[in-house]
Amino acid sequence: MNEPTPVHTTPSNKIIVTMGLVASICGVLIVAAYESTQDAIANNKRIMVERAVFKVLPGAAKVSEYVATPSGIQALTGNVPDGGVKFYAAYDSAGALKGIAAEAAGKGYADMVRVLYGYDTQCQCIIGIGVVSMRETPGIGDKIITDKEFLKNFDALDVRVNAEMSALMNAVKVVKHGTKQNAWEIDAIAGATVTTKAVGRGINESAQKLLPLLVPHVAELKP
Amino acid sequence: MSLKKEADEGITFDTFMEGVWRQNPVFVMVLGMCPTLAVTVSAVNAVSMGVATLFVLVSSCLLVSLIRNLVPKEVRIATYIVIIATFVTLVDYIIQAVSLSLYEALGAFIQLIVVNCIILGRAEAHASKNPPLKAVINAMGMGIGFTIGLLALGATREILGAGKLFGFSLFGEHFQPWVVMVLPPGGFFVLGGWLLLFSHMRSRSEKGAAHE
């Protein structure tokens, strides 16, 4: 840059050859790295999903991925089709259906709060949640992981589907701290309302979409 | 030829220590501040980011130095960027294969190693003018210096902001975490503190040298 204007310039074919050579070496390196890490990455992803599902459905031992569409449910292969909702079916070690887990996301204070909820087909209720990812303020928003009183909301959160199988009988709602009256309400954490509302809205949205598609076909989930 | 002369100079201890101490990328040159401030919320994140950067720095400096006589100077920066981007992609895959939770904690800052000015700076200012061994030793020093810088910030922020170090609780249950330290502003506070300490030390040693 500080040198005087160059008197001679490199011929462009030399430039092209050099760039091509460097690009080919780099391409080979990337492909090699991709091929050699692919299995480990897929394995890691599977372990992560399993760990998350086992947390919201205690006692589960095996997880399969399914997708629910208006035409029924089937095992997930490849990408989720349009209008489909992905969910996980969890079985215990004897092979009996332990419950369903699905992901919910709501806009929180800093970014999307993504949670996984466990759904029990017997009581038609949500029996546990776990946070998949969030960037909420430490000490305030992250109470949704630690606050025992808040987590009690998800011991048996009512998400029954109405008779027409079109929506939930009662929408999941976040109410002011200390005013929970019905089984489908979530008692907010005082001081972390934005984050709790994100969780509630996310669960409502996901359950409204998934459960009406899933409930009529639950019996098909026997392994 | 100044280039030739520089290349002929032997490898000294200073080739390595330049980056660790005298030209430390974080505390002296104040380069690469984006990952420095963003990922240093815990010591583990800081060290992982430092090691990832170290790997990219050393490998790309090696390759740049090996092909330094082949690359026409008109396209040298483009070539360096391609090489750096390649190694960043490798690191990206390797970190995903090692630990997905670490990958999520570091987030976009792994890909952003491409634009870390320490790496392009080393490739342009040192590796392109020096033989491979010397370039690698110098890059290693810089990378270690960067890692030390990140660790200094990460450890301070984790101790103050969470009462832990490398995930182990230090002060027991009654510690009230100084939460702001693990939030973005805390990064600036802690970095400011370290820079203050380093410039104080430097001005003292300069004064001492002037007296002699």
Q: pLDDT by residue (tens digit) across B66-83? A: 988 888 888 888 899 999
Residue A186 has pLDDT above 90, yes or no: no
- Helix then strand count (H, E) for chain A reads 4, 9
Task: Say if CB B97 and CB A44 are below 8 A apart.
Answer: yes
Q: Tell me: the pLDDT tens digits for B18-55?
A: 888 888 888 888 888 888 888 888 888 899 999 999 99
pLDDT at B181: 87
Q: Inter-chain contact B100–A26, Cβ cutoff 8 Å?
A: no
Q: Inter-chain contact B83–A30, Cβ cutoff 8 Å?
A: no
Distance CA A80, CA A215 (A): 19
pLDDT at B5: 44
Residue B8 lies in a domain: no
- For residue B99, give how far its alpha carbon lies from the nearest alpha carbon of chain A (Å): 7
Q: What is the DSSP letter of A137?
A: P
Q: Inter-chain contact B93–A34, Cβ cutoff 8 Å?
A: yes
Q: Return phi, psi of residue A97, to 5°.
A: -65, 125
Q: What is the pTM of this model?
A: 0.77
Q: Inter-chain contact A26–B179, Cβ cutoff 8 Å?
A: no
pLDDT at B58: 94
Mean pLDDT on B130-144: 92
Residue A135 lies in a domain: yes
Q: Return phi, psi of residue A45, to 5°.
A: -65, -40
Residue A103 lies in a domain: yes
Distance CA A199, CA A116 (A): 10
Percent of chain A whose predicted confidence (pLDDT) is above 90: 9
Residue A27 has pLDDT above 90, yes or no: yes
How many domains does chain B contain in total? 1
Question: In the structure, what pLDDT confidence band is assigned to residue A1 with cuts at 50, 70 and 90?
Answer: low
Strands A173-175 and A185-187: parallel
Residue B172 lies in a domain: no
Interface of A with B (CB under 8 A): 6, 9-10, 14-15, 18-19, 21-23, 25-26, 29-30, 33-34, 37, 40-41, 44-45, 48, 133, 137-139
Domain that holds residue A79: 51-221
The alpha-carbon radius of gyration of chain B (Å, integer) is: 19
Residue A35 lies in a domain: no
Chain A contacts of B79, Cβ < 8 Å? Answer: 18-19, 22
| Displacement of CA A147 from its chain's centroid (Å) | 21
Residue A119 lies in a domain: yes
Q: Tell me: the pLDDT tens digits for B97-118?
A: 988 888 888 878 888 888 888 8
Residue B172 has pLDDT above 90, yes or no: no
Distance CA A149, CA A217 (A): 34
How many domains does chain A contain in total? 1
Mean pLDDT on A40-69: 86
Residue A40 lies in a domain: no
What residue type is assigned to position B71 of the chain? V
Mean pLDDT on A145-150: 83
* Three-class DSSP category at A118: strand
Establish, for the pair of chains A and B, how many residue pairs have beta carbons separated by less than 8 Å. 69
Percent of chain A whose predicted confidence (pLDDT) is above 70: 96
CB neighbours of B4 closer than 8 A, spacing ≥ 6? none
pLDDT at B4: 44
Question: In the structure, what pLDDT confidence band is assigned to residue B162 with cuts at 50, 70 and 90?
Answer: confident
Residue A148 has pLDDT above 50, yes or no: yes
Distance CA A145, CA A130 (A): 7
Residue B189 has pLDDT above 90, yes or no: yes
Distance CA A167, CA A204 (A): 10
- For residue B66, give how far its alpha carbon lies from the nearest alpha carbon of chain A (Å): 12
What ranges make up the beta strands (E) of chain A? 62-69, 72-75, 85-91, 97-107, 112-120, 125-133, 157-158, 173-175, 185-187
pLDDT at A165: 80
Tokens of B199: 């410039």
Mean of all residue pLDDT scores within chain B: 86
Residue A132 has pLDDT above 60, yes or no: yes
Higher pLDDT, B193 or B210: B193
Residue B9 lies in a domain: no
CA distances from B50 to A219, B45, B56, B146, B173 (A): 52, 8, 10, 6, 31
Mean pLDDT on B135-163: 91
Question: In the structure, what pLDDT confidence band is assigned to residue A8 with cuts at 50, 70 and 90?
Answer: low
Domain that holds residue B66: 14-167+179-206
| Displacement of CA B19 from its chain's centroid (Å) | 9
Residue A13 lies in a domain: no
Interface test with B, best of A17, A22, A39, A41 (most B CBs within 10 A): A22
Residue A88 lies in a domain: yes
Residue A211 has pLDDT above 70, yes or no: yes
Q: Inter-chain contact B93–A9, Cβ cutoff 8 Å?
A: no
Residue B32 lies in a domain: yes
Closest among B103, B119, B43, B47 to A37, alpha carbons compared: B103
Highest mean pLDDT among A119-123, B115-119, B187-191: B187-191
Percent of chain B whose predicted confidence (pLDDT) is above 70: 95
CB neighbours of A89 closer than 8 A, spacing ≥ 6? A63, A64, A66, A97, A100, A221
Q: Inter-chain contact B100–A48, Cβ cutoff 8 Å?
A: yes
Mean pLDDT on A2-17: 74
Residue A34 lies in a domain: no
Task: Say if CB B80 and CB B60 are below 8 A apart.
Answer: yes
* Residue located via tokens 């409502």: A204
Residue A13 has pLDDT above 60, yes or no: yes
Residue B80 lies in a domain: yes
Nearest residue of A to residue B124 by CA position? A1
- For residue A8, give how far its alpha carbon lies from the nearest alpha carbon of chain B (Å): 11
pLDDT at B174: 79
- For residue B205, give how far its alpha carbon lies from the nearest alpha carbon of chain A (Å): 33
* Residue located via tokens 């020093």: B141
Task: Say if CB B135 and CB B64 are below 8 A apart.
Answer: yes
pLDDT at A23: 92
Nearest by CB to B79, from A6, A22, A30: name it: A22
Distance CA A121, CA A96 (A): 12
Residue B211 lies in a domain: no
Question: In the structure, what pLDDT confidence band is assigned to residue A37 with cuts at 50, 70 and 90?
Answer: very high
Residue B145 lies in a domain: yes
